[in-house]
Amino acid sequence: MVKLERLRADHAEALLAFELENRAYFARSIPDRGDAYFAEFDALHQARLAEQDDGICHFHLVTDGEGTILGRVNLIDVEDGSAELGYRVGEQAAGRGVATAAVAEVCRVAGTAYGLTSLVAVTTLDNPASRAVLERNSFTFVEDIAVAGRPGVRYRRAHLGQPGTAGSKV
C-alpha cells in the first residue's frame, strides 16, 4: 500500500536522505535540483512549509505506511481551483505501481480536502513511465510543449475526487 503524508517539519532529515540517495537516478530523467538545493535544504524545507501554510502548495511524502519514503507527490501553484502536479518515486520502489497509486490518491485528496477542480501536469516525450502514470489516472492531452528544452506534453484532469480509469497494483 501507499500512504500520503502531508509534508511536516520533522520530515526534513528523512526527505533529504531520500533526495540524496536518488539524486543520480532522478537526474537520468528530469533536471537535477542542483548543489544549492542540498546545501540549503533546511532553509528550503522551511520555505516550502510556509508556502504550504499559505495554501499555495500541497506537498506530500509517499510512504509504505510504515514510515519509509517511497516517493513524493506535490501540488504547486494553486490558483483558481487548479494546481500543477509533480511526482517522483525512488529507484528502490520503481515499477511497482507506486506512482500510479500515489497520483490516484492525490487526485482524490485534491478534489476533497483541498477543494480543487482540476490539475495540470507536464512531462517529456522521452519519459514513457511518467506519461503512463498520467494516462492511467485519466489525465488527457492538452498540448505539445517544451520542457527544459526537450519535447514534452501538457496534460490536464478535471473531475477530481473520483476514481480514474486505471487500476493499481499497490
Ligand X SMILES: CC(C)(COP(=O)(O)OP(=O)(O)OC[C@H]1O[C@@H](n2cnc3c(N)ncnc32)[C@H](O)[C@@H]1OP(=O)(O)O)[C@@H](O)C(=O)NCCC(=O)NCCS
Task: Tell me whether residue 50 or residue 125 sits nearer to ligand X (CB atom).
Answer: 125
Place of cell 475526487: 161
Angle at 152 between CA 151 and CA 158, to 5 degrees: 165
Size of the site for ligand X (CB under 6 A): 20
Query: Which of 129, 142, 145, 146 forms a contact with ligand X (CB under 6 A)?
Result: 129
Sheet holding 150-157, edge to edge: 3-6, 58-63, 69-79, 82-89, 118-124, 150-157, 140-147
Place of cell 482524490: 108
- Tell the smallest beta-carbon distance from residue 30 to ligand X (Å): 5
Decide: is 99 part of the binding site for ligand X (CB under 6 A): yes
Beta pairing partners, 147? 150
Query: Which of 123, 138, 139, 153 forms a contact with ligand X (CB under 6 A)?
Result: 123
Decide: is 29 part of the binding site for ligand X (CB under 6 A): yes
Q: Site residues (CB under 6 A) for ligand X?
A: 26, 29-30, 87-89, 94-100, 123, 127-130, 132-133
